[in-house]
Amino acid sequence: MATMAEVAREAGVSVATVSRLLNNQETVSPETANRVFAAIEKLHYEPNLLARNLRKNESRVILIVSPNVTNPYYAHILSGIGDVATKLGYSALIYNTEDDKSREREALEMLRKHRADGAILMASNTNSGWLLEYSHEFPLVQCSEYDPQVDIPHVSIDNYQATKEAMEYLIELGHRQIAIISSENDYISTRLRLQAYRDTLTQHSIACSENYIINASRDYSFKSGKSKAKELLKVEPRPTAIFCISDTLALGAITAAKELGFSVPDDVTVVGFDDVEHTTMFHPYITTVAQPCYDLGKQSAYLLCSLMRQETQIPRQTILDHKLIVRESSASPKVG
Amino acid sequence: MATMAEVAREAGVSVATVSRLLNNQETVSPETANRVFAAIEKLHYEPNLLARNLRKNESRVILIVSPNVTNPYYAHILSGIGDVATKLGYSALIYNTEDDKSREREALEMLRKHRADGAILMASNTNSGWLLEYSHEFPLVQCSEYDPQVDIPHVSIDNYQATKEAMEYLIELGHRQIAIISSENDYISTRLRLQAYRDTLTQHSIACSENYIINASRDYSFKSGKSKAKELLKVEPRPTAIFCISDTLALGAITAAKELGFSVPDDVTVVGFDDVEHTTMFHPYITTVAQPCYDLGKQSAYLLCSLMRQETQIPRQTILDHKLIVRESSASPKVG
DNA sequence: CTGTTAGCGCGTTCAA
DNA sequence: TTGAACGCGCTAACAG
């Protein structure tokens, strides 16, 4: 808690010299430098960031706006952002919104208050026009979810292509009665996955039955996955495969199948999405589309830093690789 | 990004008046107040926290030191801290240490830099003497884990009593061959749970065999739970129950049992600890000791705020309630 | 009830 | 190579 003035006095120099030493290492003689370092050591001096940041008019803080850190998917992204932030000399401030738009706004006001220099938004839905006014004033990056209509840089995977690959895998296995558990939320990922589901079926001349399309809760809860799967498994003809837009939903579907006396994958194939820890620990190990959560966070942080450094040539869209991971919950349908 | 001076000019008053209105709402006439509010509105003014905080010599930031946000247990605590922080006008800064002591130190240096006003430490091990020097200078709270030797306020559950209850439940079910999967880490919770395991057996005149005690990895990984359980299930006489000090380990144990052809709970009972989401979604639903993670975080935050407000009479220890939750993974041992 | 003024601790001119 | 002095935007005396 010593101040720079105290260090200066202790070392017999002026504050300017101390400051120079700590910032632009230029032009300080070795001997004075040593005296100053000794003083710093002796007094346990650490620069007061409040003062430094005020002077420099920056906070060196990255704001992370997430609906809920408790969700492992977001937690992994958060982890990626945090690591990059630390590495680049920033701190990671987290703001939970519980999916509440007013809290999201509240979070962004932190930028105007100079509490943070830029923000990474997770889970913006596809109605984010209001974000534009902020993005004109402050560095903003959308991670994983984004609004295609809105011109804010974002990092994501190719949800359409990823879903297409999963669907083609199912079709190749021989499935024709493929259902989907989507969600009633308004994320771009949801929309694209559903679209790819429909398109892929059509492209393979498979009729796309509305009975096979069902929406789970906004937050992909296990519970709703389970109850929606039960509905699907009662549809005639019974689907031989269920594509779920999240692993939690897929686990719900597997549980539902078991409770109804069906075996996975013998009676019904279940495929998930995300591949986050803790959801892939159980038999049958789940076939899923893996997202690089940690890297999504990392790239978002790098992108934001570019933005904050006012670099030109910022890509509007960064797409990371997904990967279909085949495990135990999928198989060819039984004949007959 | 307007400044207070601009607001003052716009409203035709001095900065002092604006400041007064924003802080101590005392003594400003309604009409001037209105003019000022109008100016604030018009200019989209938000106070510059960098300046305010420098002036007041506080950051209004709570530092959260956690080994890994990705762990749902910590994520829930984090969530509790975050909510209280927001409510009390603080921001939550998160610092991931990956269980690295030097990074932990690095995190605490944030306090000296005035980046945060106080810190909540998760997962300090029982060798935390070095924390004392910080706790004398800064408000510090330990959450969930702590060093009993070190005089820093902490929030936790009664690990000893909780384990005792779980053990007595198993004994009451009729189990006599009870094994434990502990961990090689050095947390107080681990130590207390192991001690309670031994003591409870002794108190019920059950011999405590060292063959039944095994340590999983530091981080309670599913994998190590699985492999350690396999070892245990080969011990003769085979344990009829396995008490695991975390749910992840318990899930590993259940998987191990299945793979060895044992049924849970018919052939072997498995009990976990924590009751965090995502680990209790699978059959057999796991019998476990629930910890109030969210509340642990909440209480830690409140405690830290008391500390920061320099309140006297700060309790050194806050114990929250645990709860044994009996589900499907436990049953009486088969006779013979 | 309101304005003037002096710092908070630092970085950054400008002179020496 | 170094020091003196100013000001970042705000709060809190103190005066009026």
B159-291 domain in CATH 3.40.190.290?
no
φ, ψ of residue B213 to 5 degrees: the values are -110, 125
Q: Which residue has the higher pLDDT, A142 or A278?
A: A142
Whole-Å CA distances, A175 to A197, A212, A226, A243, A246 = 13, 13, 21, 11, 20
Coil, helix or strand at residue A121:
strand
Residue type, A299: Q
Asked whether the beta carbons of residue B94 and residue A92 sit closer than 8 angstroms, the reply is yes
Give the rounded percent of residues in chain B with a pLDDT score beyond 70: 99
Task: Give, for B31, the enclosing helix (H) or strand (E).
Answer: helix B30-43
Q: Do A53 and B50 touch (CB under 8 A)?
A: yes
Cα angle B300-B304-B305, degrees, rounded to a multiple of 5? 120
Residue A101 has a CB neighbour count (10 Å cut-off) of 13
> From the candidates B50, B57, B136, B295, which should be mutated to test the interface with A, based on the most A CB atoms within 10 A?
B50
Set of chain A residues whose Cβ sits within 8 Å of the Cβ of B72? 70, 72, 75, 278
Nearest CB among A1, A49, A278 relative to B279 is that of A278
Minimum CA–CA partner of A76 in chain B: B70
Interval B204-228 mean pLDDT: 95
Interface test with A, best of B83, B109, B136, B281 (most A CBs within 10 A): B281
Residue B280: per-residue pLDDT: 66
Element (DSSP H or E) covering residue B264: none
* Contact between A82 and B68 using a beta-carbon 8 Å cutoff: no
Q: Which of A7, A74, A276, A281 to mutate to test the interface with B (most CBs of B within 10 A)?
A: A281
Mean pLDDT of chain B: 94
Indicate if A159-291 has the same CATH topology as A55-156+293-320.
yes
How far, rounded to the nearest angstrom, does the alpha carbon of residue A245 sit from its chain's CA centroid? Answer: 15
Report the distance from CA of residue A120 to the C1' of nucleotide D6 in Å, as an integer: 36
CB A182 within 8 A of CB A245: yes
Partners of residue A269 on adjacent β-strands: A241
**CB B258 within 8 Å of CB B250:** no
Instruction: State how far residue B282 is from chain A, nearest Cα, in angstroms.
Output: 7
Q: Dump pLDDT digits (tens) for A227-244.
A: 999 999 999 999 999 999
Looking at residue A174, what is its pLDDT? 97
Question: Do residues B59 and A50 lie in contact, with contact meaning Cβ atoms separated by under 8 Å?
Answer: yes
Measured CA A90 to C1' C10 distance, in angstroms: 19
| A27 Cβ within 7 A of any nucleic strand D atom | yes
Each residue's pLDDT tens digit, A89-102: 999 999 999 989 99
CA A129 from chain centre, in angstroms, equals: 20
* Residue located via tokens 């600890």: B273
Closest chain A residue to B225, measured at CA:
A281
What pLDDT score was predicted for residue A123? 80
Residue nearest to nucleotide C3 (CA to C1'): B14
Q: At what angle do helices B49-56 and A49-56 cross, to 10 degrees?
A: 140
How distant, in Å, are the alpha carbons of A10, A17, A21, A36, A199 from that of A24? Answer: 21, 10, 6, 15, 58
Q: Is the separation of the CB atoms in A269 and A330 below 8 Å?
A: yes
- In this structure, is the CB of residue A3 within 7 Å of any atom belonging to strand C? yes
Nearest nt to A28, CA vs C1'?
A: D1
Check residue B125 and give its pLDDT.
81
The CA distance from B92 to B104, in Å, is 16
User: Does residue B16 reach within 7 angstroms of strand C, measured from its CB?
Assistant: yes
The predicted structure's pLDDT at residue B195: 98
Both structure tokens of A264: 């996975």
Check whether B198 has a pLDDT greater than 80.
yes
A255 to chain B: which residues are within 8 Å by CB? Answer: 281-283
What's the topology of domain A1-54? 434 Repressor (Amino-terminal Domain) (1.10.260)
Over the stretch A15-34, which tens digit does the pLDDT of each residue have?
A: 999 999 998 767 788 899 99
Cβ of B54 less than 7 A from strand D: yes
| CB B9 under 7 Å to nucleic chain D | no
Tokens 């796309």 sit at which residue? A208
- Contact criterion met (CB below 8 Å) for A311 and A118: no
Work out if A193's Cβ lies within 7 angstroms of strand D.
no
Q: Is the CB of B283 under 7 A from strand D?
A: no
pLDDT tens digits, one per residue of B41-96 = 999 999 999 999 999 999 999 999 999 999 899 999 999 999 999 999 999 999 99
The letter for the amino acid at A259 is: E
How many angstroms separate the CA atoms of A126 and A141, rounded? 15
What is the spatial distance between Cα A241 and Cα A246, in angstroms, rounded to a whole number? 15
Q: What is the dihedral of CA A274, A276, A278, A282, to 10 degrees?
A: 40
Asked if the Cβ–Cβ distance from B95 to A93 is below 8 Å, we say no
Q: What's the confidence (pLDDT) of residue A1? A: 80
- From CA B229, how far away is CA B36, in angstroms rounded? 69
CB atoms within 10 A of CB B224: 21
Of residues B69, B76, B93, nearest to A93 (C-beta): B93
pLDDT bracket for residue B336 (50, 70, 90):
low
Q: Which nucleotides of strand C are protein-proximal, with an atom < 7 A from a CB?
A: 1-5, 7-13
Cα separation, B119 vs B141, in Å, equals: 6
- Contact status, residue B73 vs residue B247, Cβ threshold 8 Å: no
Q: Could you give the CA distance from residue A88 to residue B229 in angstroms, rounded to a whole number?
A: 42
Give B268→chain A minimum CA distance, Å. Answer: 18
State residue A199 phi and psi, 5-degree precision: -60, -45
Other CB atoms closer than 10 Å to residue A32's CB: what's the count? 16
pLDDT tens profile B141-172 = 999 999 999 999 999 999 999 999 999 999 99
**B112/A1 touch (CB, cutoff 8 Å), yes or no:** yes
Average pLDDT taken over every residue of chain A: 94
Angle, helices A30-43 vs A15-22, to 10°: value is 90
| Cα–Cα distance, A117 to B145 (Å, whole number) | 34
Q: Where are the domains of chain A?
A: 1-54, 55-156+293-320, 159-291
Peptide bond into B139 cis (omega under 30): no
Residue owning tokens 């070795």: A30
Chain B residues close to A78, C-beta within 8 Å: 69, 94
Q: Under an 8 A CB cutoff, do A281 and B255 touch?
A: yes
Q: For the residues of A100-111, what is the DSSP string, one character each?
A: -HHHHHHHHHHH
More confident of the two residues B30 and B108: B108
Average pLDDT over residues B230-239: 97
pLDDT digit string, tens, across residues B272-292: 999 987 776 777 889 999 999
Residue A176 has pLDDT above 90, yes or no: yes
Contact residues, chain A, for B281 at CB < 8 Å: 222, 248, 251-252, 255
Say if the Cβ atoms of A114 and B49 lie within 8 Å.
yes
| Cβ of B55 less than 7 A from strand D | yes
Compute the average pLDDT of residues B164-189: 97
Interchain pair A79, B96: CB under 8 A: yes
Which of A169-173, A222-226, B120-124 holds the top average pLDDT? A169-173
Out of 3.40.50.10790, 3.90.420.10, 3.30.450.20, 3.40.50.2300, select the CATH number for domain A55-156+293-320.
3.40.50.2300
Q: How far apart are CA A45 and CA A334, in angstroms?
A: 72
